[in-house]
Amino acid sequence: MDFSTYFLMDEVAVAQYAREKIDKFNGNQLSVTEIGDGNLNYVFRVSDGEQSVIIKHSGVTARISDEFVLSTDRTIREGRLIEAHSRYVPDQLPEIISIDLVMKCVVMEDLKDYAILRTALQQGDICPHLGKSLGHYLSETLIRTSDFVLPAKEKKSLQKEMINPELCEITEDLVYTEPFYNNFSRNEISSELELFVEKYIYGDASLKAAVAQAKLKFLNKAESLIHGDLHSGSIFIKKDGLKVIDPEFGFFGPAGYDVGNVIAHLFFAYANAQASGREEQAIWLKSVVDEILATFREEALTILTENTYDIALRDTALFAAFITEIERDAYIVAGLELIRRIVGLAKVSDITQLHAERVNTEKKLLTFAKFLIQHPDKVRIYSSLFKIYEAGEEQVA
Ligand code: ADP
Ligand code: MG
């Protein structure tokens, strides 16, 4: 086999590739398993019995469907984005071993000692460092890639490399348009939820006006190098740390996108814990969200204060306003993410696993999501986002 021209590798090809290309395997016999569970790419675990690596590889179409044609360069961009963020939080990302521009694959550290956050949470795990770790990840990656800290020319050069029109288009459609318009009839709603969605989502013109503003921001606000898909399936955790994977949707976009995304998925986890009677975990999950926001604000302010390189931007009031706007964007994005995962086609198992409580949970989350999108400025009146969630329809008054 020849790896000088691209082809879609299977397990046999990956074994030979790894034997030839990865030094640490020294030409040893290797076992390869495809472990991908995502929609788009192939993820291979390669092992010689002692050491192992992960090879993420992209095809010209999506893993789930040949109808989705996407540039194979997405994996290259993902590898580079991980490298870019690793400048700030090396411990919170997988180590990148190599990036192959020809074979369109990234060789990275195997996170076999970690668990996927969504799975761990559904099993009832409590992970005390989670809020602080995520707040730290968010402030470091988002603030240090903003115009305050990253020199303008460096930012623009990275921006050029990270431009991501195809995957952004997926977000633009699946997060910002289809859940509200169902223009391709791709939304998936149970019959019990249908009337509710028709009335309160499709039928709410003022909600759609707020979404329009948010969409415009997603399209034109090149604020920070964002992950772009920071859900609980993209976060690996263990007792004393976490690692973030799969920033395939990343680009220079609104910083609040990542913050809001992860908060939405913690609400799904909370709803799952509550509906499944895991009280203690539910209480802990509330504190995680509060801690993410508090840590983010505190660390963001420190980074801005200590690292703003441009004297003309060194203004305490500007720092505070910048962070407040990210938080505001985050509330809106959290609302959008909740809606798109309930109404749109890409569901989360935290919700689909539920039985009797599913519809009521969905309605409660949708009501909360609408509040976040329409009244982001009212959030600070409440001491915690959960107060708004628990208040249900009362909050709108
Ligand atoms: P996709 O882009 O197709 O969504 P992901 O990057 O999410 O692919 O990876 C799919 C799955 O492969 C993950 O859910 C995880 O189980 C596994 N995986 C991905 N990267 C690693 C890694 N570095 N170490 C261990 N497992 C990984
Ligand atoms: Mg994935």
pLDDT attached to residue 6: 97
Q: Is the CB of 70 under 6 A from ligand 1?
A: no
pLDDT attached to residue 396: 52
Assign 3-state DSSP to the chain and report helix, strand, coil percentages, each to 5: 55, 10, 35
Which CATH superfamily includes the segment(s) 115-396? Answer: Aminoglycoside phosphotransferase (APH), C-terminal lobe (3.90.1200.10)
Provide Rg for the chain, Cα atoms.
21
Ligand 1 atom with the smallest distance to the CA of 112 is 25
Whose C-alpha lies nearest to ligand 1, atom 1? 38
CA–CA distances in Å: residue 232 to residues 229, 245, 265, 350: 9, 10, 6, 10
Question: Mind listing the pLDDT tens digit of every residue in the chain (397 residues)?
Answer: 899 999 999 999 999 999 999 999 987 899 999 999 878 899 999 999 999 999 999 999 888 788 888 999 999 999 999 999 999 999 999 999 999 999 999 999 999 999 999 999 999 999 999 999 999 999 999 999 999 999 999 999 999 999 999 999 999 999 999 999 999 999 999 999 999 999 999 999 999 999 999 999 999 999 999 999 999 999 999 999 999 999 999 999 999 999 999 999 999 999 999 999 999 999 999 999 999 999 999 999 999 999 999 999 999 999 999 999 999 999 999 999 999 999 999 999 999 999 999 999 999 999 999 999 999 999 999 989 999 999 987 765 4
What is the best residue among 39, 43, 68 to mutate for testing ligand 1's pocket, by most ligand atoms within 8 Å of CB?
Answer: 43
Ligand 1 atom with the smallest distance to the CA of 243 is 23
pLDDT attached to residue 26: 83
pLDDT attached to residue 395: 64
Residue 107 parent element (H or E): strand 105-109
**Residue 59 · residue 21 · CB < 8 Å:** no
pLDDT attached to residue 1: 86
* Residues, Cβ < 5 Å to ion ligand 2: 38, 246
Where along the chain do its domains lie? Answer: 11-109, 115-396
Is residue 97 classed exposed, middle or buried when 0-12, 13-18 and 19+ CB atoms within 10 A define those classes? middle
Distance 51 CA to ligand 1 centre (A): 18
pLDDT attached to residue 397: 45
Distance 245 CA to ligand 1 centre (A): 7
**Residue 34 · residue 11 · CB < 8 Å:** yes
Distance 278 CA to ligand 2 centre (A): 27
CATH number of 11-109: 3.30.200.20
CA–CA distances in Å: residue 340 to residues 13, 175, 184: 38, 6, 14
Distance 36 CA to ligand 2 centre (A): 8
Measured CA to CA, the distance from residue 371 to residue 394 in angstroms comes to 11
Distance 54 CA to ligand 2 centre (A): 14
Q: Is 129 left (phi over 0), alpha (psi -120 to 50) or beta?
A: alpha
